[in-house]
């Protein structure tokens, strides 16, 4: 690309940024206004016009994926040479620095990075070694404390806890943890940033070397930087370097992790020569999508204030779909994606966004059923998640004691004092006797080959599994799962972890109970299989179903948090219900509610051409049917930008949605003549409501919840149902 082309494709404001003289700059602009694009073009401009060496450029973005994309785009624009340029995330760059200067950073050359799971495990060990009661002092609480302090740049010796005995304890754990890490050469995520900051603080010559080297520092998604990142960055970019930061206060969505929007104002105060440039033209979305998003975010207070406009088409209206229940929601989404494909659209142009990972299960199921390849971005498929595999392993072992893989997975999860050594002995014995692990245990116990503590712990594990089977054998599948999750100690184990991640795990476990409740065994196999076996087969098949391979066009599923910076022609947001989104906790606190609204703004502004917003009138959560109101965010959208898709059923249902101007009607199920939510009558079972359906033509089956006999699946052709 030659120089004039670099500017050709830009508007005036964007050009001001790309071709600015060497100076400090803040680009403050809403979603889709080309912030990331001008950042990339600015790098190209510096190289091509200002002859800046790639060696002098440092660019920071929010995710590894964004960093890879940025590098590729720069390479494309400058035809190749980016050698020596540093592009990465804050953590990635800090890691690189520490590797290069491990001595100055006082780290062993072979230091290892601790991921968050490892960190929790280590803190747990410390808590135990200090003989603290884990119930009273959940390890996760210390993890939060430690990471929080590190994010503020504080070491144990900096914290004055003299007058606060409980803080004194936290500092003690922090110190013990840090000593252990230092001895073992372990560095957690927060430590990467803190050490990199201290590297500057304690090595002025090194800092000055890098200050001279990186004449240009560029940061994308600046609104989500935390205190230590800010400090690191400004030390680097204070003296000679020119700093360009790019951000949008309306898209700050990591406050819960210590990100500070105020860093934007702080930057302006500290770099008082910085020029602020606003971009106001949006190139991503249709006018309907853009206007609705603007209106929504307008309900937040304390904004830095931005208006976005587009000269593009109004486009299609945003569709709001009021689903009868969560199954209907998932099926509706899969149906619309099929339509998109049938009309020539590609599957990788489609994203389904949700608030929490647990919501993916039903969507995955509907996509599998519809044979639509999908990929979960930044996360695992439901049945592959750690906590789900743990719970399934218990169910599997109850179902079949010889399932060695399940045995190995849970023998010491939650920890019950069965060490690796004991497990190795059992493994050897099983191999020697050519039997399974479970049987080997029993044989060794009988022959008294296991002694003392091992004998005791193994016996109690065996008793636990037998007891779980006795207690739950006669229960319905969902109750069985619920009992196992609770009595195995799994739930308590995850609860003790506290924090966002643990909360997600608990949500997933609850969702597993729901999955069992709504699971319908294949009626033809019920003679030969217990419902449990048939559910476990279903789970195994679904998790075995590989993710769409890398090059196959696939629908992308992700949380709204991971959708930051991305764009897709077709976007669905699922679960727009009070209590889900905005989440229950956020409703009680104005600051958090505004962060939820920003998250909704981020979600909506991912859409280029068409946006569907979905909510379900009833949803099974934690095994219970819940009626949620439609999210307040739906009511905040301007009527002229939205249309409502709603089935016309005779059932009286809670009226939650504000009145939207345009209503279109969803077709009845293929060939059945019935609709979800419709009241029907059966000669034998009496009256009921249609809940679900599957198959088509002579195969179609329909699920009806009968007032007297509960829910049943019926073959439509033989059921002789009457609409009432
Ligand atoms: N001047 C322009 N002409 C045509 N298309 C443009 C122009 N500027 C940006 N775009 C396109 O608009 C879309 C949004 O741009 P970009 O992703 O850089 O926005 P952003 O401000 O970084 O958004 P976000 O806040 O979501 O990160 C991209 O597809 C980009 O290529
Ligand atoms: Mg961007």
Whether 251 is catalytic is yes
Whether 346 is catalytic is no
Cα of 500 from ligand 2 centre, angstroms: 25
CA distance 58 to 219: 9
For residue 73, which ligand has an atom nearest its CA? Answer: 1
- Cite the DSSP H helix spans in 563-715: 584-587, 590-604, 632-635
63 assigned binding-site residue? no
Ligand 2 is an ion; its neighbours by CB within 5 Å are 35-36, 565
Question: 209 pLDDT exceeds 70?
Answer: yes
Cα of 250 from ligand 2 centre, angstroms: 13
- Average pLDDT of the chain is 87
* Structure-model confidence comparison of residues 539 and 117, the more confident one: 539
Is the separation of the CB atoms in 641 and 291 below 8 Å? yes
Res 521: pLDDT: 66
Res 519: pLDDT: 80
Could you tell me the CA-to-CA distances from 297 to 81, 308, 596 in Å, in that order?
A: 41, 11, 10
Instruction: Give the full edge-to-edge strand order of the sheet including 86-88.
Output: 86-88, 57-60, 216-219, 242-247, 25-29, 275-279
- Does this complex have an ipTM over 0.90? yes
Question: Ligand 1 within 6 A of 247 CB?
Answer: no
668 assigned binding-site residue? no
Question: 556 pLDDT exceeds 50?
Answer: yes
Cα of 197 from ligand 2 centre, angstroms: 26
Question: Ligand 1 within 6 A of 35 CB?
Answer: yes
Is the separation of the CB atoms in 18 and 45 below 8 Å? yes
35 assigned binding-site residue? yes
Res 567: pLDDT: 95
CA distance 326 to 88: 39
Question: Ligand 1 within 6 A of 37 CB?
Answer: yes
Question: 714 pLDDT exceeds 50?
Answer: yes
Q: For the purposes of burial, counting CB atoms within 10 Å of the CB of 342, is it exposed (0-12), middle (13-18) or buried (19 or more)?
A: exposed
Atom number of ligand 1 nearest to Cα 605: 26
Catalytic site residue from 220, 497, 511, 596: 220
Question: Ligand 1 within 6 A of 457 CB?
Answer: no
Summarize the confidence of residues 38-67 as an average pLDDT. 92
Q: Which has the minimum average pLDDT: 98-107, 210-219, 384-393, 615-624?
A: 615-624
For residue 38, which ligand has an atom nearest its CA? Answer: 1
CA distance 552 to 566: 19
Atom number of ligand 1 nearest to Cα 14: 1
Residue with CA nearest ligand 1 atom 16: 34
DSSP 459: H
Cα of 280 from ligand 2 centre, angstroms: 14
Cα of 11 from ligand 1 centre, angstroms: 11
Distance of CA 436 to the CA centre of its chain: 38
Question: Which residues on adjacent β-strands are paired with residue 688?
Answer: 680, 706
Angle at the Cα of 589 from the Cα atoms of 299 and 512, rounded to 5 degrees: 105
34 assigned binding-site residue? yes
Question: 695 pLDDT exceeds 70?
Answer: no
Catalytic site residue from 124, 381, 606, 675: 606
Atom number of ligand 1 nearest to Cα 566: 26
Summarize the confidence of residues 153-166 as an average pLDDT. 86
Res 549: pLDDT: 56
Question: 69 pLDDT exceeds 50?
Answer: yes
Structure tokens at 137: 């002092």
Confidence class of residue 665 from pLDDT cuts 50, 70 and 90?
very low
Question: Ligand 1 within 6 A of 181 CB?
Answer: no
Cα of 269 from ligand 2 centre, angstroms: 24
Instruction: Give tens-digit pLDDT for 447-500.
Output: 988 888 889 999 999 999 999 999 998 898 999 999 999 999 999 999 888 777
Distance of CA 234 to the CA centre of its chain: 30
Whether 220 is catalytic is yes
Q: Which has the minimum average pLDDT: 20-24, 354-358, 543-547?
A: 543-547
Our mutation pick for probing the ligand 1 site, out of 19, 28, 32, 219, counting the most ligand atoms within 8 A of Cβ, is: 32
DSSP string, 190-224: HHHHHHHHHHHHH-HHHHHHHHHH-SEEEESSGGG
696 assigned binding-site residue? no
Atom number of ligand 1 nearest to Cα 38: 18
Residue with CA nearest ligand 1 atom 23: 32
Catalytic site residue from 41, 178, 211, 251: 251
342 Cβ contact partners less than 8 Å away, ≥ 6 residues apart: none
Question: Ligand 1 within 6 A of 242 CB?
Answer: no
Residue with tokens 């980016």: 82
Res 691: pLDDT: 76
Q: Which has the minimum average pLDDT: 27-36, 195-204, 542-551?
A: 542-551
Res 268: pLDDT: 94
Question: Ligand 1 within 6 A of 284 CB?
Answer: yes
Residue with CA nearest ligand 1 atom 29: 284
Cα of 199 from ligand 2 centre, angstroms: 30
Instruction: Give tens-digit pLDDT for 565-611.
Output: 999 999 999 999 999 999 888 888 878 999 999 999 999 999 999 99
Its pTM surpasses 0.90: no
Cα of 349 from ligand 1 centre, angstroms: 16
36 assigned binding-site residue? yes
59 assigned binding-site residue? no
For residue 606, which ligand has an atom nearest its CA? Answer: 1
Cα of 226 from ligand 1 centre, angstroms: 25
216-219 and 57-60 beta bridge pairing: parallel
176 assigned binding-site residue? no
Question: Ligand 1 within 6 A of 565 CB?
Answer: yes
CA distance 230 to 263: 7
Catalytic site residue from 151, 221, 329, 364: 221
Is the separation of the CB atoms in 170 and 111 below 8 Å? no
Atom number of ligand 1 nearest to Cα 606: 26
Is the separation of the CB atoms in 494 and 505 below 8 Å? yes
Res 659: pLDDT: 38
Instruction: Give tens-digit pLDDT for 387-428.
Output: 998 999 999 899 888 878 789 889 999 999 898 888 889 988
Residue with CA nearest ligand 1 atom 8: 34
Structure tokens at 312: 């593009």
* Structure-model confidence comparison of residues 638 and 255, the more confident one: 638
């Amino acid at each position: 690309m030659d120089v004039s082309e670099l500017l050709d494709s830009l508007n005036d404001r964007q050009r001001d940024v790309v071709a600015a003289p060497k100076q400090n700059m803040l680009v403050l602009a809403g979603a889709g206004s080309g912030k990331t694009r001008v950042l990339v073009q600015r790098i190209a401009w510096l190289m091509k016009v200002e002859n800046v060496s790639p060696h002098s450029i440092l660019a920071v973005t929010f995710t590894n994926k964004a960093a890879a994309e940025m590098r590729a785009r720069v390479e494309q624009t400058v035809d190749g040479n980016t050698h020596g340029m540093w592009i990465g995330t804050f953590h990635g760059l800090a890691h690189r620095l520490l590797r290069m200067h491990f001595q100055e950073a006082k780290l062993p050359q072979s230091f290892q990075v601790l991921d968050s799971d490892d960190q929790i495990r280590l803190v747990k060990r410390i808590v135990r070694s200090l003989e603290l009661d884990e119930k009273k002092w959940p390890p996760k609480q210390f993890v939060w404390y430690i990471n929080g302090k590190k994010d503020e740049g504080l070491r144990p010796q900096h914290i004055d806890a003299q007058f606060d005995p409980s803080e004194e304890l936290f500092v003690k754990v922090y110190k013990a943890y840090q000593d252990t890490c230092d001895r073992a050469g372990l560095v957690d995520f927060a430590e990467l940033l803190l050490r990199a900051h201290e590297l500057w603080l304690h090595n002025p010559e090194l800092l000055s070397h890098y200050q001279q080297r990186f004449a240009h520092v560029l940061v994308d998604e600046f609104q989500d930087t935390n205190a230590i990142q800010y400090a690191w960055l400004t030390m680097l970019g204070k003296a000679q370097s020119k700093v360009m930061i790019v951000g949008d206060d309306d898209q700050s969505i990591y406050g819960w992790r210590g990100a500070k929007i105020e860093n934007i104002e702080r930057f302006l105060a500290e770099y008082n020569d910085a020029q602020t440039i606003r971009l106001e033209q949006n190139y991503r979305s249709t006018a309907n999508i853009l206007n609705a998003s603007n209106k929504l975010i307008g309900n937040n207070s304390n904004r830095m204030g931005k208006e976005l406009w587009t000269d593009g088409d109004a486009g299609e209206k945003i569709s709001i779909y009021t689903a009868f229940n969560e199954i209907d929601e998932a099926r509706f989404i899969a149906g619309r994606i099929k339509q998109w494909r049938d009309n020539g659209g590609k599957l990788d142009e489609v994203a389904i966004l949700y608030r929490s990972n647990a919501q993916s299960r039903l969507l995955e199921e509907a996509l599998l059923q519809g044979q639509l390849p999908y990929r979960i971005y930044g996360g695992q498929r439901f049945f592959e998640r750690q906590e789900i595999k743990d719970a399934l392993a218990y169910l599997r072992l109850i179902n079949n004691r010889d399932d060695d893989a399940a045995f190995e997975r849970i023998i010491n999860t939650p920890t019950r004092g069965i060490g690796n050594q004991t497990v190795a002995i059992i493994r050897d014995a099983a191999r020697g006797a050519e039997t399974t692990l479970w049987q080997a245990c029993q044989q060794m116990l009988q022959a008294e080959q296991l002694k003392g503590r091992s004998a005791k712990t193994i016996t109690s594990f065996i008793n636990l599994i037998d007891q779980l089977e006795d207690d739950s054998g006669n229960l319905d599948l969902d109750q069985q799962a619920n009992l196992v999750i609770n009595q195995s100690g799994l739930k308590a184990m995850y609860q003790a972890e506290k924090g966002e991640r643990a909360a997600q795990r608990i949500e997933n476990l609850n969702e597993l109970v729901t999955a069992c409740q709504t699971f319908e065994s294949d009626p033809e196999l019920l003679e030969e299989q217990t419902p449990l076996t048939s559910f476990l087969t279903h789970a195994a098949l679904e998790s075995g179903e590989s993710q769409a391979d890398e090059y196959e066009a696939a629908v992308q599923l992700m949380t709204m948090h991971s959708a930051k910076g991305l764009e897709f022609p077709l976007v669905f947001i699922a679960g727009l219900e009070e209590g889900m989104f905005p989440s229950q906790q956020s409703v009680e606190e104005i600051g958090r509610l505004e962060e939820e609204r920003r998250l909704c703004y981020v979600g909506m502004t991912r859409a280029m051409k068409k946006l569907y917003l979905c909510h379900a009138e009833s949803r099974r959560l934690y095994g219970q049917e819940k009626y949620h109101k439609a999210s307040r965010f739906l009511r905040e959208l301007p009527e002229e930008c939205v249309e409502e898709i709603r089935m016309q059923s005779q059932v009286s249902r809670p009226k939650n949605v504000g009145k939207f101007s345009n209503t279109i009607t969803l077709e009845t199920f293929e060939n059945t003549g019935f609709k979800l939510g419709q009241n029907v009558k059966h000669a034998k079972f009496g009256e009921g409501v249609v809940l679900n359906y599957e198959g088509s033509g002579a195969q179609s089956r329909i699920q009806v919840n009968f007032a007297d006999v509960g829910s049943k699946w019926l073959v439509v052709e033989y059921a002789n149902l009457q609409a009432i």
